[in-house]
């Protein structure tokens, strides 16, 4: 079966069609670089735009020049909706950074044929592995640790093997919020064992602390210990965790800067290495936004760095502490319009401000879902898990989601429907 390709390039002309054909790719349409983006921006501009979108809907791959006019959030969202993979043709470092911000595949002009074929190549078979879910949020306490705990507890309700790890090198707090001891081995010990090659599922089970049905790897008890969480150590520990649990939820710090690589060429410890390593390895990234003007502004400014760090992993945006007192009337619509306009995020979920339930959870050092299962906060997290990160079917080892943007639309499955039924029964 041939690969159907739409070629949108000012660098590669019609003569390149024969080269793609030799590699088993059938080029259905050749257009200028900005034609798909123009059609995605306004589908009612005329017959040409409709034909362009129709060709995209029937294609498997869109090979397009990387550029701000050609590779846009609207185009990425349209391709996500059609199930079309994007291969960005990059002619320099700036083009590659732009493509990485959207999490699409990149290639040089000389490697387009191989990249197009590889984009739809079947994944190698192998045993199913656990999934890594990173929970990130910008500076300012948007509530990422609280939501990481709630997401882990909610996933464990279906009988899945779930673990929660604290990889925050600036302000680790999972142990304090859950009443667990942070003097034990925890995630840092897992990282050291991974470096020595002695980390196994049995060792992870030994050093983890129980929080109901969730196994917890506590974080470092002093921020000054951050050099223990190097990139190589964290990456090795995460790979072993995939063999230990079905879902690993990892709480990470807010900063995404790589300043050390700019000011020094010496290979040394990086303060934000743990966060960047977790985001690079994650299968799903939950981005937490605080529903106030400062929180939204910080998220908008940090989102491009998050998108570049997460690579191809889908980003699910969760707006926390939603209330009208900080944003005025119709706070949800205001946040939704802002995120869609400035960062191209078309789908997001909301968690209401429920200080009573959150305070009760802190007082009892338990997840909100256990202390106040019928609270609005717990119900919102339950809906988010069911719609945005419901456990997927088992997939092959070593594979990652092909591509996603912040505009991913929710697609509830059978598990989501079961969660919805439970929520309705609980509210009855």
Q: Do 325 and 410 fall within a single domain?
A: yes
Query: Residue 308's domain spans which residues?
Result: 131-427
Percent pLDDT > 90 in the chain is 48
d(CA 32, CA 30): 7
d(CA 150, CA 378): 8
Lowest mean pLDDT among 22-26, 69-73, 109-113, 155-159: 22-26
pLDDT at residue 304 greater than cutoff 60: yes
pLDDT per residue over 19-54, tens digit each? 767 666 777 788 888 888 888 876 545 677 777 888
Q: What pLDDT, on a 0 to 100 scale, did the predictor assign at position 188?
A: 93
Q: Do 237 and 328 fall within a single domain?
A: yes
Q: What pLDDT, on a 0 to 100 scale, did the predictor assign at position 266?
A: 54
Lowest mean pLDDT among 149-163, 307-321, 406-420: 406-420
pLDDT at residue 299 greater than cutoff 90: yes
pLDDT tier for residue 287 given thresholds of 50, 70 and 90: very high
Burial of 166 (0-12, 13-18, 19+ CB in 10 A): buried
* Backbone phi, psi, residue 348, to 5°: -150, 160
Domain count, the chain: 2
Q: What pLDDT, on a 0 to 100 scale, did the predictor assign at position 265?
A: 52
pLDDT at residue 127 greater than cutoff 80: no
d(CA 394, CA 331): 38
CATH code (residue 38): 3.40.50.2300
Retrieve residue 280's tokens.
């690079």
pLDDT at residue 366 greater than cutoff 50: yes
Instruction: Look at residue 175 and tell me if it is in a domain.
Output: yes
pLDDT tier for residue 243 given thresholds of 50, 70 and 90: very high
Q: Do 224 and 331 fall within a single domain?
A: yes
d(CA 273, CA 279): 10
Q: Do 332 and 357 fall within a single domain?
A: yes
CATH code (residue 326): 3.40.50.300
Choose between 147 and 29: higher pLDDT. Answer: 147
Q: Do 77 and 220 fall within a single domain?
A: no
Q: Do 270 and 396 fall within a single domain?
A: yes
Q: Which of 119, 139, 164 lies at the terminal end of a domain, its last residue?
A: 119
d(CA 206, CA 146): 25
Instruction: Look at residue 126 and tell me if it is in a domain.
Output: no
Q: Which of 78, 97, 119 lies at the terminal end of a domain, its last residue?
A: 119
pLDDT tier for residue 82 given thresholds of 50, 70 and 90: confident
Q: What pLDDT, on a 0 to 100 scale, did the predictor assign at position 335?
A: 95
pLDDT at residue 423 greater than cutoff 80: no
pLDDT at residue 364 greater than cutoff 90: yes
Q: What pLDDT, on a 0 to 100 scale, did the predictor assign at position 14?
A: 61
pLDDT at residue 427 greater than cutoff 50: no
Lowest mean pLDDT among 51-55, 201-205, 332-336: 51-55
Q: What pLDDT, on a 0 to 100 scale, did the predictor assign at position 53?
A: 83
Instruction: Look at residue 374 and tell me if it is in a domain.
Output: yes
Q: Do 394 and 349 fall within a single domain?
A: yes
Average pLDDT for the chain: 83
Q: What pLDDT, on a 0 to 100 scale, did the predictor assign at position 91?
A: 85
Q: Do 208 and 76 fall within a single domain?
A: no
Q: What pLDDT, on a 0 to 100 scale, did the predictor assign at position 416?
A: 44
Q: Do 168 and 85 fall within a single domain?
A: no
Q: Do 231 and 150 fall within a single domain?
A: yes
- 264-265-266-268 Cα dihedral, nearest 10 degrees: 70
Choose between 79 and 23: higher pLDDT. Answer: 79
Q: Do 325 and 207 fall within a single domain?
A: yes
- The model scores a pTM over 0.95: no
Choose between 33 and 136: higher pLDDT. Answer: 136
Pairing, β 214-217 against β 209-211: antiparallel
Q: Which residue has the tokens 């256990």?
A: 370
Q: What pLDDT, on a 0 to 100 scale, did the predictor assign at position 259?
A: 63
Instruction: Look at residue 413 and tell me if it is in a domain.
Output: yes
Q: What pLDDT, on a 0 to 100 scale, did the predictor assign at position 400?
A: 40
Q: What pLDDT, on a 0 to 100 scale, did the predictor assign at position 333?
A: 93
Instruction: Look at residue 124 and tell me if it is in a domain.
Output: no
Choose between 248 and 223: higher pLDDT. Answer: 248
Q: Which of 87, 119, 151 lies at the terminal end of a domain, its last residue?
A: 119
pLDDT at residue 377 greater than cutoff 90: yes
Instruction: Look at residue 125 and tell me if it is in a domain.
Output: no
pLDDT at residue 3 greater than cutoff 70: yes
DSSP 160-211: --EEEEE--SS---HHHHHT--SSS-HHHHHHHHHHHT---HHHHHHH-EEE
Q: Residue 120 CA to chain centroid, in angstroms? A: 21
Instruction: Look at residue 229 and tell me if it is in a domain.
Output: yes
Q: Across the strands, what pairs with 30?
A: 7
Q: Do 70 and 209 fall within a single domain?
A: no
pLDDT at residue 309 greater than cutoff 80: yes
């Amino acid at each position: 079966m041939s690969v159907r390709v739409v070629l949108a390039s000012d660098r590669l002309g019609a003569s390149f069609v024969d080269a793609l054909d030799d590699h088993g790719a059938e080029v259905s349409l050749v257009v200028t670089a900005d034609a798909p983006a123009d059609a995605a921006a306004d589908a009612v501009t005329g017959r040409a735009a409709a034909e362009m979108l129709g060709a995209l809907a029937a294609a498997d791959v869109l090979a397009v020049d990387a550029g701000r006019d050609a590779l846009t959030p609207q185009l990425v969202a349209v391709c996500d909706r059609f199930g079309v993979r994007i291969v960005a043709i990059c002619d320099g470092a700036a083009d590659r950074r732009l493509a990485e911000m959207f999490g699409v595949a990149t290639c040089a002009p000389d490697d387009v044929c191989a990249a197009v074929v590889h984009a739809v190549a079947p994944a190698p078979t192998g045993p199913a592995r656990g999934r890594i879910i990173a929970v990130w949020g910008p500076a300012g306490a948007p509530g990422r640790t609280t939501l990481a705990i709630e997401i882990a507890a909610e996933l464990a309700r279906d009988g899945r093997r779930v673990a929660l790890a604290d990889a925050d090198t600036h302000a680790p707090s999972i142990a304090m919020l859950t009443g667990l001891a942070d003097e034990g081995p925890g995630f840092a010990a897992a990282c050291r064992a991974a470096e020595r090659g002695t980390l196994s599922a049995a060792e992870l089970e030994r050093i983890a602390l129980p929080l109901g049905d969730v196994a917890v790897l506590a974080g470092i008890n002093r921020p000054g210990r951050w050099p223990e969480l190097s990139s190589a150590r964290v990456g090795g520990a995460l790979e072993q965790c995939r063999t230990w649990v079905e879902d690993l939820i990892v709480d990470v710090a807010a900063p995404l800067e790589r300043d050390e690589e700019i000011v020094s060429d010496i290979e040394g410890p990086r303060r934000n290495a743990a966060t960047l390593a977790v985001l690079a390895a994650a299968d799903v990234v939950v981005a937490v936004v605080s529903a106030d003007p400062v929180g939204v502004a910080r998220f908008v400014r940090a989102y491009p760095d998050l998108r570049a760090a997460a690579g191809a992993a889908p980003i699910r945006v969760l707006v926390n502490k939603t209330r009208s007192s900080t944003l005025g009337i119709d706070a949800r619509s205001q946040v939704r319009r802002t995120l869609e306009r400035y960062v191209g995020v078309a789908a997001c979920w909301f968690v209401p401000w429920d200080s009573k339930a959150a305070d009760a959870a802190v007082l009892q050092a338990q997840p909100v879902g256990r202390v106040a299962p019928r609270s609005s906060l717990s119900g919102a997290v339950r809906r988010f898990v069911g719609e945005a990160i419901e456990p997927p079917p088992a997939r092959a080892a070593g594979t990652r989601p092909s591509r996603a943007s912040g505009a991913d639309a929710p697609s509830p499955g059978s598990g989501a429907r079961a969660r919805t039924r439970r929520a309705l029964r609980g509210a009855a």
